[in-house]
Amino acid sequence: MDTQAQPVAPDFQSVKFIYFDLDDTLIDHKTAQDRALVDVWTQYPELQQVEPLVLASQYAESNRRLWEAYRKNEVSQSELRRLRFEETFRRLGIGSLDWREMDRVYLDCYSRHWDWIPGAREALVRISKQFPTGIMTNGFIFVQKKKFEYFSLNRYTRNLIISEEVGHLKPDPRIFSFAAEKTGLQPGELLYVGDSYSSDIVGGSRSGWKTAWYQPDGNDGGRDPENNLADLVFSGFAELLKIFQTP
């Protein structure tokens, strides 16, 4: 007889409104970023001192670290946009390129590679027929609003909440409180779906929301019992849809 404890399905019966993260949850930010950097690399011989993957890797590391600093109010948005290029160029030994030009060219290339995460559009469409939905994102206003329009997200969602407009970035409980107030519901009636454990799952769970952690590589980040805040961990949107199947 198998005595191993079976996992208990998350209880989402109380959920009445679902918020989604945008980048790398619904929209494939990472792929768009990497492809944009390759496009930039092909346009500037100065960058071709290194392989495009080296450029992409170094930029991604600088950008990740600076976004963490931005969340902590240690750098401004303008400093983030400047430093992620200046640091990348310095570490790669490239000194003749202006960060403002790179920022403009990169953002133009980046927008050309926007696409849905596999299965995300179908999931959003189907879920939005059962629940009111919204989007809450830490991205820059001018970029995220363009994505919202490009993907016609107003067809499926009611609220678009951008941290820059609110004045607080995830995982700050104040942005989750603001988002909850927009729905008129209690925190326990809200679900947040996102890919970042620190921003989305920690922020949502500690604000009293249900949380679903999107982990496309199937790796749960080595969570231990003290770090196990997500109500659901899923690697593909078909798994999320199963939770909300109507009888």
Check whether residue 88 and residue 160 sit in a common domain: no
Distance between CA atoms of 108 and 113, rounded to whole angstroms? 10
In a domain, 189, yes or no: yes
* Whether pLDDT at 8 is above 90: no
Average pLDDT in the chain: 90
pLDDT confidence tier of residue 221, bands split at 50, 70 and 90: very low
Check whether residue 99 and residue 76 sit in a common domain: yes
Distance between CA atoms of 206 and 168, rounded to whole angstroms? 15
Distance between CA atoms of 222 and 237, rounded to whole angstroms? 21
Check whether residue 124 and residue 169 sit in a common domain: yes
CB 185 within 8 A of CB 158: no
Check whether residue 123 and residue 214 sit in a common domain: yes
Query: pLDDT for 14-70, tens place per residue?
Result: 999 999 999 999 999 999 999 999 999 999 999 999 999 999 999 999 999 999 999
Here the contacts of 10-13 (C-beta below 8 Å, separation 24 or greater) are: 10/210, 10/212, 10/231, 10/232, 10/243, 11/231, 12/191, 12/210, 12/231, 12/232, 12/243, 12/244
CATH number assigned to the domain comprising residue 181: 3.40.50.1000
Check whether residue 130 and residue 199 sit in a common domain: yes
What does the pLDDT read at residue 1? 37
CB 134 within 8 A of CB 50: no
Choose one of 89, 112, 135: the last residue of a domain: 112
Structurally, the chain folds into a number of domains equal to 2
Check whether residue 143 and residue 221 sit in a common domain: yes
Range scoring the smallest mean pLDDT among 97-111, 189-203, 208-222, 228-242: 208-222
CB 64 within 8 A of CB 30: no
174 by DSSP, 3-state: which?
Answer: helix
Q: For residue 116, which amino acid is it?
A: W
Domain of residue 81 covers 30-112
Check whether residue 92 and residue 121 sit in a common domain: no
